[in-house]
Amino acid sequence: MIFQLNDNDILFPDTALAEPDGLLAIGGDLKPDRIFAAYKSGIFPWFSDDDPICWFAPHERCVIFPSKIHVSKSMQKSMRAKEFEVTTNTAFAAVIAACKNTARKDQDGTWITDEMEEAYIKLHALGIAKSIEVWQNNDLVGGMYGLEINNVFCGESMFSTVSNASKAAMIWLCTENNYTLIDCQMRTDHLISMGAEMISQKEFMNILNS
């Protein structure tokens, strides 16, 4: 069942009522308090320019437990050679713009609309949204951004303009922080190759609220 959100409050329906593809509700807005309430409930917005605001709560989540991150031999070599410099929260707007504008294989366009970009920049100003930047020769070549909810980092998007840059961001996130879990939301082969796995929404919520 797909619910229509009430514009006058930020209540969300029970995530167990989401459609098989995870779609739970439509409508509402992208004000910081609504987005924050959504993430705290295991829900995130995901839609395109021509769609209404869509809110998803997948019955299974793609996640990475930091201790299980897979670092390939080529990445170990890259890290030893210090090919990249990694920073955090120094260029949030640039990272989300790059995630929005970087072309991706087998993907037509982006789900990061202008409205989404503006909303997450506001969340960053409030200290809720975080960015990881990957630099090479002083150029921003990769990174990712997401929301920090308790001890979980809810990843939203990542980008890379040179080989291994986005992997460097994820490895840094897993090894240099104290997060219990990295929420990747949806499964991709790239994430699975880095050690991601699928867990139930119930298990995810238990970790998110612990």
Q: Are residues 17 and 52 in the same domain?
A: yes
SS3 content of the chain, % helix, strand, coil (to 5): 35, 25, 40
Counting as low any pLDDT under 70, the low residues of the chain are 104-110
The domain that holds 179 is classified in CATH as: 3.40.630.70
173 in the same domain as 80: yes
**Same domain? 76 vs 175:** yes
> Of 58, 82, 97, which residue is a domain's last?
58
The answer to whether residues 207 and 183 touch, using CB atoms and an 8 Å cutoff, is: no
CATH number of the domain that residue 14 is part of:
3.30.70.3550
Q: pLDDT (tens digit, 9 = 90+) per residue, 26-56? A: 999 999 999 999 999 999 999 887 889 999 9
Residue 70 falls within a domain, yes or no? yes
User: Do the domain assignments include residue 210?
Assistant: no
Q: Report phi then psi at 106, rounded to 5.
A: 60, 25
pTM beyond 0.85? yes
For residue 52, what are the domain limits? 3-58
pLDDT value at residue 176: 87
Residues 93 and 191 in one domain: yes
| Alpha-carbon span 11 to 33, nearest angstrom | 11
111 and 29 co-located in one domain: no
- Based on the fold, state whether residues 12 and 116 are members of the same structural domain: no
Asked whether residue 46 is domain-assigned, the answer is yes
Whether 85 and 117 share a structural domain:
yes
Total domains present in the chain: 2
In a domain, 175, yes or no: yes
- Mark whether 135 and 185 lie in a shared domain: yes
DSSP 95-150: HHHHHHHS--TT--S-S--HHHHHHHHHHHHTT-EEEEEEEETTEEEEEEEEEEET
Q: Are residues 125 and 189 in the same domain?
A: yes
The 10s digit of each residue's pLDDT in 107-127 is 444 679 999 999 999 999 999
Same domain, yes or no: 114 and 165? yes
Cα atoms in the 13 Å half-sphere on the side-chain side of 177:
23
